[in-house]
Structure 1
Amino acid sequence: MEELTLTTPALLFSAISLIMLAYTNRFLAYAAVIRNLHAVYLERKDKSILPQIKNLKLRVNLTRWMQIFGISSLLLCVLTMFLIYINQHIVAVWIFGTALIFLIISLALLIKEIQISAQALNFHISDIENHLKKK
């Protein structure tokens, strides 16, 4: 088995940082849409907005869990580096393995969130197409 060095967990820093930036941008975009829909709902009391709010609530929760697992992965990478520094290599290998699993979970949640987003967009596209067919 190849020995784990400080550079191995350090390589994930830039990848995880970019992933977290993307997750944060998604979260901020959802927040803006939710605030807009909230204002529209308070103004018109349009019940058709409620399914969109429910969908966005699910997506925000998924994004939150994506962020939690991504940050946990980064923290475990830092812990791995510390354990390597103090010559606790066996524990470091296990902690790094856990960090990779957390990153995998985060990315799997991203796939699920993208599927939900695509379904929501397809619903809007079909709604527009149906509206155009009526004209």
Structure 2
Amino acid sequence: MEITLTTPALLFPALSLLLLAFTNRFMALASLIRNLKHQYKTTQNRLIFGQIQNLRTRLLLIRNMQAFGIGSMFSCVLCMFSLYEGWQTAGKIIFGLSLILLMISMALSLWEIQISVKALELELSDIEQEESK
């Protein structure tokens, strides 16, 4: 398979959008954590403490999602440099690495979404239990 300088460049729009989405998730989580921390200090509610622990896990996943996404983008640039210099074999290997890093980033994103959905399901079940009483 022959790859050209434009092949790794095709990933840039997708990577940029993914990193933007990950940053938005991070910012929303940071705001939520700050609010919950303030609520916990005033109420000492164990449910809020559990939510904060869940958010800590999600925060670490988002950090890792961003790190692997940035690693993928860096690998794309390195691949482009390798191809520019005429190092086809190195370019192919580095491009493959870039794709692997992107897949890891997306897998972590899926994991974080699943954790988020479970947390929301617990919130909803709590409301449903209160309504059924």
TM-score where L is the length of structure 1: 0.97
SS in 2 for 1:28: helix
- Look up the match of 2:37: 38
Counterpart Cα distance in 2 of 1:20 and 1:8: 20
- Look up the match of 1:89: 88
Counterpart Cα distance in 1 of 2:47 and 2:14: 39
- Look up the match of 2:56: 57
TM-score where L is the length of structure 2: 0.98
Tell me the matched-pair count: 133
- Look up the match of 1:105: 104
Q: CA RMSD in A?
A: 0.6
Partner amino acid for 1:107? M
Structure 1 stretches of at least 4 aligned residues deviating more than 4 Å after TM superposition: none
Structure 2, unaligned stretches of length 5 or more? none
Structure 1, unaligned stretches of length 5 or more? none
Partner amino acid for 1:111? L
Partner amino acid for 1:48? L
Q: How does 1:1-135 map to 2 (within 5 A)?
A: 2-134=1-133
